[in-house]
Every structure is written in C-alpha cells, then in structure tokens.
A and B are shown apart, each in its own frame.
Chain A
Amino acid sequence: MQTPLFAIDNVNFRYTDGKALDALSLTIEAGERVALLGANGSGKSTLLRVLDALLFPESGDVRFCGELLTEDAFSEDEFAYAFRKRVGFVFQNSDAQLFSTTVFDEVAFGPLQLRLGAGEVRRRVAQTLERFNISPLSDRAPHQLSGGEKRKVALASVLVLDPDVLLLDEPTAGLDPRSQTQLMDMLDEWQHSSADRCAKTIVTATHDLHTLEDMAGRCLVMERGRVIASGSPGEILSDRDLLERGNLVHAHRHRSRHTHPHPGLHRPQV
C-alpha cells in the first residue's frame, strides 16, 4: 500500500480548556478532495492548523508522506521549506492572511520567503495575478479590497507557490454567488494546470452544502474534536439526522406544524 499523504493517529489537542481534538485518527491520500463538515467549534480549523504544522498535538502522531511533523523537524530549514512549499493554507479570516501593503507584495511574499530570485518572483507574481484576473488590484492595499477580492488575493498568494496540498478554511463563507463561482474557477484552474491532476490534494473546512459535491469526493463530519461520520457527499447529504446533528441544516417549524429541513439554504448561526 502507498504511504498516505497525511496520517493522523490518536491526536489530542487542547487550547486552554476542553479538548479541541479528541483522540482523532484519520488518513488522507494524495489526490483526494476531502471536506470537513461540522458545527461551529467542532474542531475543523484546529485540525487544519495541525495538518499545516502550525499547531503541534499534545499527544499522538501526525505524519506527512510518512515523516513525523514535530517542532524538532521544523527547526531544520530544509525540511520546513520543503513542507511549506508543498502545503498551502488559506485562512478563514482573510484580514489576518493579508498582511502586506500591496496586493503585489502579498502575492510575492511566499516566493520571496522561499528565496526565489527577484526576476523569478516578479515573473511568477505577474503570471499569477494575470491568471486569476486580479492584475488590476496589483497596487491596491489589501485592506481597501472588498471581502470577495480579499479572498481571491488570499488564494492567489498561496497558489503562487503551486503547492501540492491546499488546506482551505471556509473558502466560500460570506461570498456572493458570483465570487463563489470565481473562487471555484480559480481552484479548477490551479488543479488543471498541473500535468497530473491527481497530484493535487484539497482539504476544505466548510458549512456550504451547495458546493460540497464540487469540492469533495469524501466528507468527514466532526463533532467535539472527533470524526463522527464519513462518506461521499451524496451519502452525507442524504442523511438528514446527521446533517441536523452537525448543525448543517435547520429544521424549520412552519405554521402547519410539520417540520422539514432545508439542506444548505442556511449557514448555522455564527
């Protein structure tokens, strides 16, 4: 059997009180598109941070391509650069992700940190801005952009490195349908650009059931730091009880007193 891309074994993590990840085990294969579903606070963002080695678990193992992700491993430049080059993370909060003074600098940040030459950086950034139709924003300050534009720039600033693995934290939350489509187009464009389409892996934390089938081949439903169910989008979407339990749909009580759920029409209250 092939070594899985990510292998998480019995991982526990807590911030201050209460477990954010509770004896969590799962594997993700290269080329998979995985969606993480679950109510607010169920541990999706925490799991993504563990996968991106921004947080290290208090117990349990996290492996990437068979190699343990530990703080020690990341103290070595070579290992850290190789990992950061291969794994990209688009944060839930674009404001935190966009820290440079112009869009151009923002997109250039990653390539510069990975010490590509100045010419190569300029070329790549220009090409990326062009590819995702955000060249006109090049000189703007990120804080002056609209929510949708911010999200696009955040995505571009990660895709400029052409990672193999993309971790997305609620990429479509708060976007209007058109921006959502544009974002999905960007992801498609990135995936198809690679010679071997299967090489690209995407892990998405989401509440958005509309885009689920586009975004994922496998869904994991989380609750209180554990995976409580997994299956194809079709299987998950047809399991009403599960969706209600994961706060992914509301049950609506109508005047006629019968209750019926609307999958995907509402985001859980934030």
Chain B
Amino acid sequence: MANFVEHHVSHLMQGWDLIQRADSTGRLHGPLQSLSAPAKIVVAALLIVAVVASTHVWAILGIFVLTLTLALLSCRVVFDLMRIAWLGVFSFTGVMSLPALFLTRGPELLRVPIAGWTLTSTGLHIFLVLLLRAETAVTITLTVILTTPWPRLLAGLRTLKVPSLVVALIGATYRYVILLLESALDMMQSRRSRLVGPLAPRERRRLLISTGGVLFSKSAALSQEVHDAMISRGYRGETYVLGEQRNAPRDWIAMAAGALLSLAVAVLR
C-alpha cells in the first residue's frame, strides 16, 4: 500500500506514453505503415483466428516471430512497449493456465516431490499453446495499433462496416481516456511540486482516495462539456464520418498472403 500512489502514477505514465507513441509511430515510414488500415485489420483478424484455432506450437511461434520481425522493421520502439504487454499477458495467462501443467494426463515428465503432482508432456504442451496464443494475439493487435495512426484505425473499422455507433464509442473512449490521463497527470504533477518530503502511509491513502474522487468528478464535468460542444455543432446522436482510404495493390497482396498463412497455420496439426 505504501507505494500505491507512485505505482498508480507510473502506470498512468506508461499508458500515456503508449498513446503518445502510438500516434507518432503510426506516422513513420515502414513496411507496415505503408499498408492501409482496413488491410491490416483484416490480416490481423485472420491471423488471430488462425492462432487461436491452432494447437501447433511451432506454427504459432512462427507467426509470433514473423509479426515481431515486421513490427521491428516498422519501428524500433515497439519492443519496449511490447515488453510491458508481454509481461502483463504472461502473469495473467500464465497463472490462469498453470493448472493445465499438472492436471492433464499423459506421459510423465517430472514429479514435484512433496505435493505429489506430476508434470506431463501433454500438460506442458497445452500450457505452452495457451501462453503462446495469448502472447501472439496481443503482439499482432499491438503491431496494428502501433503502426496505424489512430484516426486511420477508426476510419478503417468504418470501412469494414463496423457500426458507426461502435466506432464512435471507441473514439469517445479514447478521448475520455486521454482527458482522464491528462487531468490525472496534471494533478499528480502539481501535487508533487507542492509535496515536501515523503508522506506517511495514512496520508498517502487519503491522497489517493481524494485524487480518485476529484478525477472522477472532473472527468464527468469534462465529458458533459464535450457533449455540449458536440451538440453546439449540430450533433444529434448520429455520427457521420468521412469515407475512407482505398486499397492499393500491395494491400490486396498483403491480405492474400495473410489469408494463405492463416489457412496454413489453421490446418497444420
């Protein structure tokens, strides 16, 4: 608890950093940035489905390495950002699928001395597949996000006939998160500049609670204001978006390659 406030802040910072970078890495010139957003979304969706359907460790690993290579070729910094995500996924999926290691029957590999659990090769296989699937899916998703400017991504979803309400909702969430992060960071910074010396744990708790409360009412007021600003410019509950990007030949090639690859992964046993 003692370091909770700082922990909180550093998470906010990481999230903020990610959003900022996603905006700028998407505008670099790299192999993936040159593809249209709809093409990338389609390929990513196909690959994720294939990966989730596959039980072939090497096939999934192959997709993982391929995605990572393309992502690194498109921009270097993705590695730092992905590491954060990989760790998160590892601790979540890892823990969730840990029982599979021991509860699955099959050829025995190892016996845990005191508990009397046995590690089977089938269990190990299942564990690896579950973990790899999750890590690969996250890597694919992040790669698309980090190589596409945010508005392009939203427009890409529209092109793919995702309902405008859903896209508007995603856009609004993004906006809201940004406003929330901005006011959080502002508050933290102004508070930090006023703090002298470390705080007692009890003080910290109080601070955290009040920060959360203020942040909430602040962002509620702000979203009311955003809503007013939209109404004032003619918003009546329906969003209209400008039509988007056409696919170039290389986008079609990418989609065809993605489809073939996905099919190969899905049928490989």
A118 in contact with B151 (CB, 8 Å): no
Also in contact, A101 and B182, with CB within 8 A (given A54-B228, A109-B233, A118-B243)? no
A157 in contact with B236 (CB, 8 Å): no
A91 in contact with B225 (CB, 8 Å): yes
B234 in contact with A113 (CB, 8 Å): yes
* Binary A-proximity of B74-115 (CB < 8 A = 1, otherwise 0): 000000000000000000000000000000000000000000
| Residue B150 lies at the interface, judged by CB distance under 8 Å to chain A | yes
Smallest CB separation, B215 vs chain A (Å): 15
| Residue A114 lies at the interface, judged by CB distance under 8 Å to chain B | yes
On chain A, the residues within 8 Å of B72 by CB distance are: none
Interface range for A: 35 or more
Q: Looking at the complex, which one of A54, A91, A102, A114 makes contact with B234 (CB distance below 8 Å)?
A: A114
B151 in contact with A113 (CB, 8 Å): no
Q: A121 to B231: give the CA distance in the assembly, Å.
A: 19
* Binary B-proximity of A90-112 (CB < 8 A = 1, otherwise 0): 01010111011110010011101
| Residue A89 lies at the interface, judged by CB distance under 8 Å to chain B | yes
Q: Looking at the complex, which one of B149, B226, B242 makes contact with A108 (CB distance below 8 Å)?
A: B242
Smallest CB separation, A169 vs chain B (Å): 11
| Residue B241 lies at the interface, judged by CB distance under 8 Å to chain A | yes
A96 in contact with B234 (CB, 8 Å): no
Residues B146-183 near A (CB distance < 8 A): 149-151, 154, 171-172, 174-175, 178-179, 182
B171 in contact with A112 (CB, 8 Å): no
Q: A235 to B172: give the CA distance in the assembly, Å.
A: 47
Smallest CB separation, B15 vs chain A (Å): 14
On chain A, the residues within 8 Å of B229 by CB distance are: 89, 91, 96-97, 99
Residues B189-206 near A (CB distance < 8 A): none
| Residue B256 lies at the interface, judged by CB distance under 8 Å to chain A | no
Q: A264 to B20: give the CA distance in the assembly, Å.
A: 39
Q: A199 to B185: give the CA distance in the assembly, Å.
A: 44
Residue of B nearest to A161 (CB): B233
| Residue A16 lies at the interface, judged by CB distance under 8 Å to chain B | no
A93 in contact with B225 (CB, 8 Å): yes
On chain B, the residues within 8 Å of A102 by CB distance are: 149, 151
Chain B: residues with Cβ within 8 Å of the partner, total of 30
Residue of B nearest to A125 (CB): B242
Q: Looking at the complex, which one of B20, B171, B233 makes contact with A101 (CB distance below 8 Å)?
A: B171
On chain B, the residues within 8 Å of A96 by CB distance are: 222, 225-226, 228-229
Q: A95 to B234: give the CA distance in the assembly, Å.
A: 18
Q: A245 to B226: give the CA distance in the assembly, Å.
A: 33
| Residue B23 lies at the interface, judged by CB distance under 8 Å to chain A | yes
Also in contact, A105 and B151, with CB within 8 A (given A112-B241, A118-B243)? yes
The residue in A80, A93, A109 that gathers the most chain B C-beta atoms within 10 A of its C-beta is A109
Also in contact, A101 and B179, with CB within 8 A (given A81-B234, A108-B242)? no
Q: Looking at the complex, which one of B151, B178, B233 makes contact with A143 (CB distance below 8 Å)?
A: B178
A144 in contact with B23 (CB, 8 Å): yes
Also in contact, A141 and B233, with CB within 8 A (given A101-B171, A101-B174, A112-B240)? no
| Residue A200 lies at the interface, judged by CB distance under 8 Å to chain B | no
The residue in B178, B234, B236 that gathers the most chain A C-beta atoms within 10 A of its C-beta is B234
A110 in contact with B234 (CB, 8 Å): yes
Residues A191-249 near B (CB distance < 8 A): none
| Residue A115 lies at the interface, judged by CB distance under 8 Å to chain B | yes
Residues A7-63 near B (CB distance < 8 A): 49, 52, 54
On chain B, the residues within 8 Å of A109 by CB distance are: 230, 233, 235
On chain A, the residues within 8 Å of B231 by CB distance are: 54, 84
A-B contact pairs, 23 of them (CB 8 A): A77-B236, A81-B234, A85-B234, A91-B229, A93-B225, A95-B182, A95-B222, A96-B228, A97-B229, A99-B175, A99-B229, A100-B171, A101-B171, A102-B149, A109-B233, A113-B233, A113-B234, A113-B235, A139-B27, A143-B182, A144-B20, A144-B23, A158-B233
8 more CB-based (< 8 A) A-B contacts, given A81-B234, A99-B230, A161-B234: A54-B228, A84-B231, A89-B232, A99-B175, A100-B151, A113-B233, A113-B235, A141-B150
